[in-house]
């Protein structure tokens, strides 16, 4: 990416800033000094503009990469399913079968009920999160530099105003989006398994019985809400820290190549482990949701 006139701090901040699209209000003074005559939907030119766009702004880069990687996962597994035969599978099919078997084994061992959704859900979460994490191994300057070149040549944009993050799981909006979907499934399976009365009773009558309902509800409510929060923040925190180290390594000049390789080898374990943990916690939380207490 363009680093002319950038300090180490601004270099790091530039890499950690998303490409944000949102609405700026009328009368807003932009970073270049221009004042908007009316409310305008546009890309943020500075981190401050991104913040001022508010809740309805979209992190375009995170959203785009998450969708692209999700489509890629679906496409490759669809092609593999179409090519699967009773004959000897090739290496790619062998690998996919191994992944499916590992996920299926963990679902059978951890989910103590019958559901046609849990195994496909677990497989989707593991592969999708893994692919999003895997983007962390791409050298940090390659895709942002390409985005700046496209922005400058196609959209006549100032390269310093083109932000581009390529690891969706370093964006809490993405990790919370997945975890809140899991949370919705937890609520759904809890009500489906126990009924609305049973679900409310579970939140209010344990662990101390009917005489301490407010205290029970406080404890169980915090425990329930902690599940999506812990899912999202665990994944985000580990990948964000890993990305930050890659950015710091990129500032070492010629020494970045061996350092990048060493950290990347170690980081592969984190990438796989975090995807596996997210999948396993999802299975366990849904299993707890269908159990009667």
Give residues with Cβ within 8 angstroms of 40, minimum separation 6. Answer: 23, 24
Active-site residue (options: 10, 26, 74, 230):
230
Active-site residue (options: 18, 59, 238, 287):
238
Q: Is 133 an active-site residue?
A: no
Structure tokens at 282: 């999802």
Radius of gyration of the chain from its Cα atoms, rounded to whole angstroms: 23
Q: How far apart are CA 120 and CA 126, in angstroms?
A: 10
Q: How far apart are CA 163 and CA 50, in angstroms?
A: 11
Q: Is 116 an active-site residue?
A: no
Q: Is 238 an active-site residue?
A: yes
Give residues with Cβ within 8 angstroms of 62, minimum separation 6. Answer: 18, 165, 168, 171, 173, 174
> How are strands ordered across the β-sheet holding 58-59?
40-43, 20-24, 58-59
Active site residues: 230, 234, 238
């Amino acid at each position: 990416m363009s680093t002319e006139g950038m300090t180490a701090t601004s270099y790091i901040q530039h890499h950690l800033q998303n490409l944000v699209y949102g609405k700026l209000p009328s009368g807003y003074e932009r970073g270049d000094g221009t004042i908007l005559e009316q409310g305008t939907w546009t890309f943020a030119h500075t981190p401050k503009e991104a913040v001022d766009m508010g809740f309805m702004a979209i992190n375009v880069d995170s959203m785009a990469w998450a969708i692209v990687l999700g489509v890629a996962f679906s496409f490759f597994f669809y092609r593999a399913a179409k090519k699967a035969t009773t004959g000897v599978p090739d290496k790619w099919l062998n690998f996919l079968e191994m992944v499916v078997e590992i996920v299926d084994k963990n679902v059978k061992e951890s989910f103590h009920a019958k559901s046609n959704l849990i195994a496909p859900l677990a497989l989707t979460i593991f592969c999708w999160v893994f692919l999003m994490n895997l983007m962390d191994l791409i050298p940090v300057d390659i895709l942002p530099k390409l985005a700046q070149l496209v922005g400058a040549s196609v959209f006549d944009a100032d390269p310093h105003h083109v932000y581009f993050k390529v690891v969706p799981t370093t964006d809490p909006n993405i990790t919370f989006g997945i975890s809140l979907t899991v949370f919705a499934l937890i609520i759904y399976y809890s009500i489906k398994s126990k009924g609305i009365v049973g679900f409310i009773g579970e939140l209010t009558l344990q662990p101390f019985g009917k005489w301490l309902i407010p205290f029970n509800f406080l404890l169980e409510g915090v425990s329930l809400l902690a599940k999506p929060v812990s899912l999202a923040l665990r994944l985000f925190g580990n990948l964000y820290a890993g990305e930050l180290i890659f950015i710091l390594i990129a500032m070492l000049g010629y020494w970045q190549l061996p350092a990048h390789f060493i950290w990347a080898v170690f980081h592969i374990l984190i990438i796989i482990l975090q995807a596996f943990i997210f999948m396993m916690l999802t299975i366990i939380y849904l299993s707890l949701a269908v159990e009667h207490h």
